[in-house]
Amino acid sequence: MKYDYDLLVIGGGAGGLTAAGMGANFGAKTLMVEADKLGGDCTWHGCIPSKTLLHLSKVAHNVSEAEKFGYQKSQGLDFSAVMEQVRSKREEVYEEADDPDIYRRMGVDIAFGRASFVDDHTVEIVSSEENKKVSARYIIIATGSKAMVPPIKGIQEISYHTNETIFELEEQPESLAIIGAGPIGIEMAQAFQRLDTEVTVFDMLPRILSNDDEEFAGMLQEYLVNEGIDFKLSADVNRLSEATGGNVKIETEINGESSTWEGSEVLIAAGRTANYERLQLEKAGIHHQKSGITVDDRCRTNIKHIYAVGDVTGRYQFTHMSEHMAKVAVTNALIKIPKKIDEKHVPWSTYTDPELAHVGTTEKELKENGMSYKTYRFPYNKIDRAITDEATEGMIKVFAKEWNGKILGATIYGRQAGDLVGEYALAMRNGVTLRNIADTIHPYPTYGLGIRRAADQWYVQSQSTWMVKLVKWVFGYRGTVPDLSDDDRIV
């Protein structure tokens, strides 16, 4: 009774919505504060519009590909209709999942305005209509992140896009430069290229998707090059400026040589930065660093009744991790059941076509840590469903203990990789081995069958010549002993 609310959630994105819904479900008097619209970056500027645009660009690409089989296009692409569909899908998701009335019916109070701390239990909410102060026994910060704009010379003198503006385009750019070869940059590169915009991607690193498997990222890069995307890697972007006709000029240095790009639009996709500047964390005594608010493995800040989840912590910039961290925070705060962030089984995916996904320890980490493991591969061109769908570009790669098949990590490049990697996440979290997966019936013909067949390779590579000879001798079999000397054979 000392405080206005049992639980106060700052931010109405994925993490905030999960936290507020759980709070009300546990019987806590809950208030959620949001500065703009519920749904956050994922609904309005991230996951939903980007995946819609990727889907529509894939439809356009499939139409072009269908010409090989006799289909004739009747007319060209209507770019404005494509972008209208993107915005329509945002509204559909908002109405079905993020509308404030959905949460009010759950018992969550909602306040719109900017929140900032007054002390460690009190927050001031400022809106165009009123300023008010509210107090809470527990507080969860879920204010997310925003696009990071690098300090490139001239950047403030030109018009550029981030993920917050690119989906508002009405006219199709003739050409698009993307600064950043991470997931956002690569996804948008393929989407716009398939919609017939000439795309050039710049990055200071020598490869795309630097956090992903180097081999598979290289395969994806080659695939995208074949689709027409121009990559300028190991590139220092020195200056941006206006050019004639309203174009933008980018001056770069690549391997010691200067070059210039000129085109219609520029998208900055150089990473994310945590949203906490306006919270006045110092008034509550909350520790933070440049990357975000500091939390422990229970999502608690240095102030024991204040938690932070999702992008604002700088730890994992994925919607699914925001939701996971929200569950961890609420469980610890409200019902005192100790729950920790599951750091070992964090899946991620880049939703290009083909997709690139991973979970667990990467091969690079395994090598750096001197861990003993064996790699089991299975190519998409041996998955019957991929053959029927003309989607044989891809490979499954699993890192596991040789003697018992315990899975250490997995990476997938190919159709539906983001969906398939979830099976490995479930297996790893629950101690399911490659042997268990191989012994589990999977439906045919599916892409999921590729997961089982990759696990079959553990059985194949566990086989030895002496074992076959022993079986022959014991049972009196008359066949030949297969050649088992090739460790890379795939059955």
The reply to whether 326 sits in an annotated binding site is no
CA–CA gap between residue 101 and residue 383 (Å, rounded): 46
Strand order in the sheet with 374-379: 348-350, 355-360, 407-414, 395-400, 374-379
3-class DSSP assignment, residue 38: coil
The reply to whether 143 sits in an annotated binding site is yes
Handedness of CA 43, 192, 188, 56 (dihedral sign): positive
According to DSSP, the β-strands at 348-350 and 395-400 are unpaired
Helix (H) or strand (E) segment spanning residue 266: strand 265-268
3-class DSSP assignment, residue 302: coil
The reply to whether 206 sits in an annotated binding site is no
- Tokens in use for 311? 């992008």
CA–CA gap between residue 371 and residue 363 (Å, rounded): 10
The reply to whether 405 sits in an annotated binding site is no
The reply to whether 145 sits in an annotated binding site is yes
The reply to whether 310 sits in an annotated binding site is no
CA–CA gap between residue 329 and residue 324 (Å, rounded): 9
The reply to whether 13 sits in an annotated binding site is no
The reply to whether 271 sits in an annotated binding site is yes
The reply to whether 311 sits in an annotated binding site is yes
The helix, strand and coil proportions of the chain, stated in percent and rounded to the nearest 5, come to: 35, 25, 40
CA–CA gap between residue 333 and residue 339 (Å, rounded): 10
3-class DSSP assignment, residue 10: strand
The reply to whether 187 sits in an annotated binding site is yes
Q: Tell me, what DSSP letter sits at residue 13?
A: S
* One-character DSSP codes across 182-217: SHHHHHHHHHHHHTT-EEEEE-SSSSSSTTS-HHHH
- Tokens in use for 254? 């690549």
Helix (H) or strand (E) segment spanning residue 262: strand 257-263
- Structural contact between residues 162 and 147, judged by C-beta atoms closer than 8 angstroms: yes
**Closest to 267 (Cα-Cα) out of 217, 193, 213, 320:** 193
Q: Side chain identity at 461, as an amino acid letter?
A: Q
Binding residues for NAD(+): 180-187, 271
Binding residues: 51, 143-145, 180-187, 271, 311
Binding residues for FAD: 51, 143-145, 311
